[in-house]
Amino acid sequence: MPAEMAGIRLRRLAEQIQMEISDLLLRGLKDPRIGFVTITDVELSPDLSRAWVYFSTPEGPEKQEQLLEGLRSASGFIRKVLGKRLHIKQIPEFEFKYDHSLDRGDRIERILADVREKEGWDDPGRTRGSAEEVARALREGKRFLVTSHRNPDGDAVAAVLGLGNILRRMDREVVLYNPDPVPHNFRFLPRSDEILTEYGTGPFDTIVVMDCSELDRAGPLPELAGSRLVGIDHHLTTSPLGDVYYLDPRASSIGEMLHRMLPHLPLEMDIELATCIYTSILSDTGSFRYSNTTPEALHVAAEAVGLGVSPWDVSLQVYESQPVERVRLLARVLDTLEIDASGRYGSILVTQEMFEQTGTSLELIDGFINVPRGIRGIEVAIQFRQDGAERYKVSFRSRGIVNVAEIAEQFGGGGHANASGCSLDGSLEEVQERIYGAVEKALRACDSSQER
Ligand SMILES: [Mn+2]
C-alpha cells in the first residue's frame, strides 16, 4: 500500500477511535474521577501498537492528574469495547495525555485582545467604552457643553436635545451648541431653539460630542485642556473620540445609546426625552426601514410611544411639512440624475446655483440621495454637492452589498457601511472620475468575493 494511503487509513482509524472513546465517556464510565472530559485528538503509531489519546477539560489543567488516573484505570474496559466495535485484530495500548494547546490558545487570545484594546485597532464594528463609563462622566460633571457634528441631521439634533434634557433634570448647567442651524423639520423638537450657534463663555468641565467620530466634523470648540471630552458615537471607526467614550457602530442611533445609559443615571424617560429618542431612531433608521432597525431600536421606540409620543405627529413634522422650495430644489436636482451603463450606480448633483435659483440652502437637501438609491438595480447612490468653486462634498448610500464607508475613507472621509461621505477638490469632471473609479472598483471587489 502506498505510504500516502496508509497515512489516510491511519488517520481514519484514529478518528474512529476518538469518536468511540468520546461516545463511551459521554455515556459515563461510572468513575467519579472522570468528570467532563473531551478527547481532543488521537494519534496512532504506524504499526497500530500504540495510541496517544489527548484529552482536555473545561475544569482546567488542575484536574488533569485526577482525570489521568481515571482514564488509565478505565483503559482496559475501553480497549475491550473498542475491540468489539472496530473489528481490528490488535487494539493499541493507550497513552493518555493532557492537551495544553487549548489552554495556551485561550491565553494567547486573551493577550491579543488586551493589546487590541489598548492600541484600538481590530474591527471597526466593535463596541468601545461603555454606557456605564459615559454615564459616570455625566454624573461627575457640573458644567457641560453639548454638541454634535456640523450640519446636524435628525439624530444629531435629537441627541443634543435629549442629553440636554437629561443633564437639566440632573441639575447640571448645560449649554447646547451647534454652529449650523437646526433643519426645518426638526425644529418641532422640544427646546430646539435652545441650541445656540455659539458656545459662549466657559469654562466647561465636560464637553460632550455626539454622532461624530472626528473633532474637525464638530464646530469650533473651546480650549479642550482642563475639560473632559466625552464621545457618544455609532460610526464605524477604530479611534473613538473622547477621554471617555461610548462607541457602538451597531447601535441604530445616538437616541438608542442615550436610552442604554438611563439605567446608570438617576432618572427615567419623560415625554420630552422620549420624543427626542424616538425622533433620533426614526431619523437614523429611515423610518424603521434600514438594516439598523434592530429589535432594540424598535423596543426603545415602542417604549417612547408607550410614554405618549405620537408616531403620526412626529412623521407629520419630519416628513410631511416640507417647504415648497425644497420640492422645487429637488426637481432641479433630479434633473441631473445619471445612471451608469451597468445600472448599478447612479448620481445626482446639487450646485450652488440651484440654491440661489430656488432661494434654498444646504439644510433642505437631506434625503435627496435616497431617490437614486431607490432605483431598481442600483447598489450605490452618489450625491455630488458643490461646496466651493472647485470643491465637492460627496455622499454615498449603499443598498447593502457595498461598504461605502470604505470608499469614503479612501478620500479622507468616513461614515457607516450604508451611508458615508467625503470631500474632494477639483472640477466636477475630475471629482466624478475619481469617485466613479473607486465605486466601480468596490463593485468589482464585491462581485469577486461573492463568486468565491
Ligand atoms: Mn447618527
pLDDT given for residue 41 in this prediction: 85
Ligand 1 centre from 19 Cα, in Å?
52
CB 72, CB 80: distance < 8 Å: no
Ligand 1 centre from 340 Cα, in Å?
29
Ligand 1 centre from 350 Cα, in Å?
23
Place of cell 484536574: 63
Place of cell 466634523: 217
Rounded average pLDDT over 37-63:
83
pLDDT given for residue 34 in this prediction: 73
Ligand 1 centre from 426 Cα, in Å?
29
Level-2 CATH architecture, domain 324-451 = Roll (3.10)
Helix (H) or strand (E) run with residue 35 in it = none
CB 252, CB 292: distance < 8 Å: yes
pLDDT given for residue 330 in this prediction: 97
Ligand 1 centre from 400 Cα, in Å?
17
- Whether the model clears a pTM of 0.95, i.e. scores above it, the answer is no
pLDDT in tens, 72-119: 888 888 888 888 887 777 788 888 988 876 665 555 565 566 555 555
Return the CATH fold of 3-102.
GMP Synthetase; Chain A, domain 3 (3.30.300)
Ligand 1 centre from 155 Cα, in Å?
5
Residue 343's region, left for phi above 0, alpha for psi from -120 to 50, else beta, is: left
**Cβ-count burial 253-264 (b if 16+ within 10 Å, e if not):** bbbbbbbbbbee
Q: Using pLDDT thresholds of 50, 70 and 90, give the confidence band for residue 16.
A: confident
Ligand 1 centre from 121 Cα, in Å?
22
pLDDT given for residue 110 in this prediction: 57
pLDDT in tens, 189-240: 999 999 999 998 879 999 999 999 999 899 999 988 889 999 999 998 888 9
Top-level CATH class of 128-319?
Answer: alpha beta
In whole angstroms, give the CA distance from residue 162 to residue 118: 31
Amino acid (one-letter) located at 168: R
Q: Which of 43-52, 60-69, 100-109, 263-272 ranks highest by mean pLDDT?
A: 263-272
pLDDT given for residue 115 in this prediction: 59
Residue 124's region, left for phi above 0, alpha for psi from -120 to 50, else beta, is: alpha
Domain boundaries along the sequence of the chain: 3-102, 128-319, 324-451
Ligand 1 centre from 393 Cα, in Å?
18
Residue 323 φ/ψ, nearest 5 degrees: -70, 145
Ligand 1 centre from 8 Cα, in Å?
56
Ligand 1 centre from 432 Cα, in Å?
26
Report DSSP letters for 144-159, one per residue.
EEEEEBSS--HHHHHH
In whole angstroms, give the CA distance from residue 239 to residue 176: 25
Ligand 1 centre from 237 Cα, in Å?
13
